[in-house]
Structure 1
Amino acid sequence: MYKRLRLGKLFRDHVFVILGWLIWIALQLSGHKFGDGDSLGTLAAGSALTFCIMLGCVFSVVRSADELAELLDEPYGTLVLTLSATAIEVSLMLMVMAGGGQNPAMLRDTIFATLMVVLNGMVGVSLVSGGWINVEQSFNLRGALSFLHLIAPLSLLLLVLPNYTSSTDGPTLDPVQEAFLGLLCLLMYGVFLLIQTGRHRSYFANLSAVLDEEPEDNGNGNAAPALHRRRGAILHGAMNLLAALLPVVLLAEHLGSVIDFAIERSHTPAALGGLVVAALVLLPEGVGAQRAAALNLMQRAVNICLGSALATIGLTVPTIVVAASLQGHALTLGLDGAQETLLYATLLVSVMTFVSGSANVLQGLVHLMLFVAYLFFVFVP
């Protein structure tokens, strides 16, 4: 009876992961890929099913990352979640590029969508939710500004500077400039990780957190078994995370072909592809940030939100730049005037919000206002 209950709980917790693996195996065995040969109904149903299954797997990734976060001290817990989401984002974009490469603005649109979704959508919902329940919340000012110190200049270098370079025509960069910016993003993100997990780790810890000391062995032999159990739990959580992450990455090929096909054949705005990728990747993280803010863990919410934006710039950009160079794809990077204005407004409001060191409902509503404006201008450019 106990074994049946355990199997039932295991299936409930990992039903989307199991379905994800089964769907991927079925697609591989059949050799089917969504595209020109499918009717509109088949394409819509197949893509919707794939998207929902992938979304369920992403939520399983978040659940496994949350379990690891309870075993690991900050900022390692949120860092695991951030890197997992970045792996999903990179795999989706690579599959879209491999499917035809007819959308040279995919990298730009995804980065811009990620910044809008994170800095306005996720931050706004978290601030409103946390402020509504807890009135006002505090977070580590130095930690939040550490994120913004990199997000602001790197996003401007990637999304605005290409409009004003003279080496190429249009909002593009030549290969040397792309390589320079990709290497710069990777280098600065690596330096940030060393600071976040080393010298200034306290900047990213909850203000009310108390650092736990290693268990001392008082002679009764309890410390070693406790440490062994903790390591076993971490290993088990990491295996669950990998099992949930892999079907998302593998199914990205099929969803990527749908996104690429829709961009080529439909009359929908090109920026919608970047928004779809960002939404799939960031929705579970947004739920995690909102939940943390509601529980008065505002620093964890800040780490999730700003860490997601910075990881997209620091890891996704170098990977896609290298892949585009190897495949001979040109990248359109510069934003147009309306998008530039939204980016400037977002960075300005973000600095004003996080420099205060406290959060309330009004600040969240301002961020949500900018997010709604972004969505409106995606469909009504």
Structure 2
Amino acid sequence: MLALALSWGRTPPTALAVLVALFLAGSVLAAVHHAEVVAHRVGEPFGSLVLAVAVTVIEVALIVSLMISGGDKAATLARDTVFSAVMITCNGIVGLSLLFATIRRRVAVFNAEGSGGALATVTTLATLSLVLPTFTTSKPGPSFSPAQLAFAAVASLILYGLFVLTQTVRHRDYFLPVNSSGTVIEAEEHAAAPTARRALISLGMLLIALIAVVGLAKVESPIIEKVVIEAGLPPAVVGVVIALLVLLPETLAAVRAARRDRLQTSFNLALGSAMASIGLTIPAIAIASIWLSGPLTLGLGATHMVLLALTVAVTTLTVVPGRATLLQSGVHLVLFAGFLFLAVSP
């Protein structure tokens, strides 16, 4: 936080930028540690929900602040960051989690009911918010009219709220880890839960660490933009890099869960983060658009729509059986690599 206070509002020189990047990495590791303490105290699926929502709320603040300061150049920033978050979570995090889970056990198991419901919600949110604007005709370009944007925002909030109700109250057992025989694992078997005091301290430290992650990522963003421009890369790469930085805590937490044979926890983090990224960002952008004067482009291009459709199809085939092997991991990771490659070389 001290590094953030000293570097805020400035473009640091190269040496200081490297130091800020080291503090950023340390903040990510701290966020993962405190998120695991809170998750262990409250249990699944509440622990995954805490990390996903906390990161996404601050991610939304980062996107809005960059759009306010970026003007017309930031018209596609929300779209690029949200789409990148979906591809990172559904292919990158899912692929890495499957990789570490299937290395230890030849077949990884998870709860198909919960993961399937989460995937259906992510697909609906992504289609309503990122695909439909390309085809609507009320406003020129791949953009929503104010009424359409308001509808997408309200629908996103309703769907996300309904999912949280399902995940935490009505069908909580659908989102709990399962063992190889399909039996639900209610809690960690090898360690006692932390005390309420320690969990509250970790919750406060988690919020501080997440603020540091996103704040330091914003400090680094002008350097990222400069590097992207000098390298002749597309502007969309900025959104990809921001999403990669912000989603580092979820990625590390998901991989750790997979290594402990808690693949369902990894899926809760991945799909929950994708859902929160859309379900909270679109309403926030809709409200911010009231005073933002610049254009807002939400519709995806043809290449990204193909990647999204392929991701939905592949993830559906991964989720439906409730069991996965190393092959599914490879498919998701190749899709993720394809997304990164096409972001750099469209």
Would the alpha carbon gap of residues 51 and 23 (structure 1) be closer, same or farther in structure 2, given more than 3 Å must change?
Answer: same
Whether the 8 Å CA contact 1:96–1:259 is kept in 2: the answer is: no
Distance 2:203 2:239 in 1: 29
Partner of 2:37: 67
Partner of 1:139: 110
The corresponding residue for 1:271 is 236
Q: Summarize the alignment of residues 57-96 of structure 1 with structure 2, pairs less than 5 Å apart.
A: 57-96=27-66
Alignment of structure 1 residues 148-227 onto 2, 5 Å: 148-207=119-178, 208-211=183-186
8 Å contact from structure 1 (residues 122, 305) kept in 2: yes
Q: Is the 8 A contact 1:126 1:293 kept in 2?
A: yes
C-alpha offsets along residues 232-265 of structure 1, whole Å, 9 cap, x if unaligned?
2222221222332333344455334545666778
TM-score norm. by structure 1 comes to 0.82
Identical aligned residues as a percent: 37
User: Are 1:96 and 1:257, in contact at CA under 8 Å, matched by a contact in 2?
Assistant: no
Q: Following the alignment from structure 1 to structure 2, what is the Cα–Cα distance between the partners of residues 189 and 301?
A: 19
The alpha-carbon deviation at position 210 of structure 1 amounts to 4.8
Q: Which residue of 2 aligns with 1:317?
A: 282
Query: Is 1:370 aligned with 2:340?
Result: no
When the two structures are superposed, what TM-score results if normalisation uses the length of structure 2? 0.90
Aligned residue in 2 for 1:14:
none
Pair 46,171 (structure 1): closer, same or farther in 2 beyond 3 Å? farther
1:286 aligned to 2:266? no
Is 1:33 matched up with 2:10?
yes
Letter paired with 1:161 = L
Partner of 1:106: 77
The residue type paired with residue 318 of structure 1 is P
The Cα of 1:200 is off from its aligned counterpart by 0.7
Q: 1:358 to 1:349 in 2, by over 3 A?
A: same
Query: Residue 169 and residue 305 in structure 1: after superposition, are their counterparts in 2 closer, same or farther (change >3 A)?
Result: same
Change (3 A) 1:130 1:252: closer
The answer to whether the 8 A contact 2:177-2:186 is kept is no
* Alignment deviations for residues 346-378 of structure 1 (CA, whole Å, 9 cap, x no partner): 010011110111111001111111111111111
Question: Structure 1 residues 366, 187: CA separation in 2 closer, same or farther (over 3 Å shift)?
Answer: same
Task: Please tell me whether the aligned partners of residues 35 and 202 of structure 2 are also in contact (alpha carbons under 8 angstroms).
Answer: yes
Q: Secondary structure at the match of 1:304?
A: helix
Contact 2:29/2:249 (<8 A) preserved: yes
Please point out which of 322, 328, 331 is paired with 1:357. 322
Following TM superposition, by how much is the alpha carbon of 1:145 offset from its aligned partner in structure 2, in angstroms? 0.8
Q: 1:353 to 1:300 in 2, by over 3 A?
A: same
Q: Using the TM superposition, give the Cα deviation of residue 284 of structure 1 relative to its aligned residue in structure 2, in angstroms.
A: 2.6
Q: Which of 202, 206, 211 lines up with 1:246 in the alignment?
A: 211
Partners of 1:151 and 1:380 in 2: how far apart? 27
Alpha-carbon shift at residue 211 of structure 1 (Å)? 4.3
- CA deviations 1:81-107 (Å, max 9, x no partner) are 111221332232123112222221111
Q: Partners in 1 of 2:211 and 2:328 — Cα distance?
A: 37
Residue 51 (structure 1) shift: 3.6
1:125 corresponds to 2:96: yes
Name whichever of 241-250 and 185-194 sits farther off.
Answer: 241-250
Q: Partner letter of residue 188 of structure 1?
A: L
Give the letter aligned to residue 84 of structure 1.
A
Shift in Å, 1:274: 1.1
> Which whole-Å CA distance do the structure 2 matches of 1:100 and 1:174 have between them?
21
Aligned residues: 337
Q: What is the distance in 1 between the residues matched to 2:328 and 2:75?
A: 35
Using the alignment, how far apart are the partners of 1:354 and 1:191 within structure 2? Answer: 21
Alpha-carbon distance between aligned partners in 1 of 2:296 and 2:80, rounded to the nearest angstrom:
11
- The equivalent of 1:18 in structure 2 is none
**Counterpart of 1:302?**
267
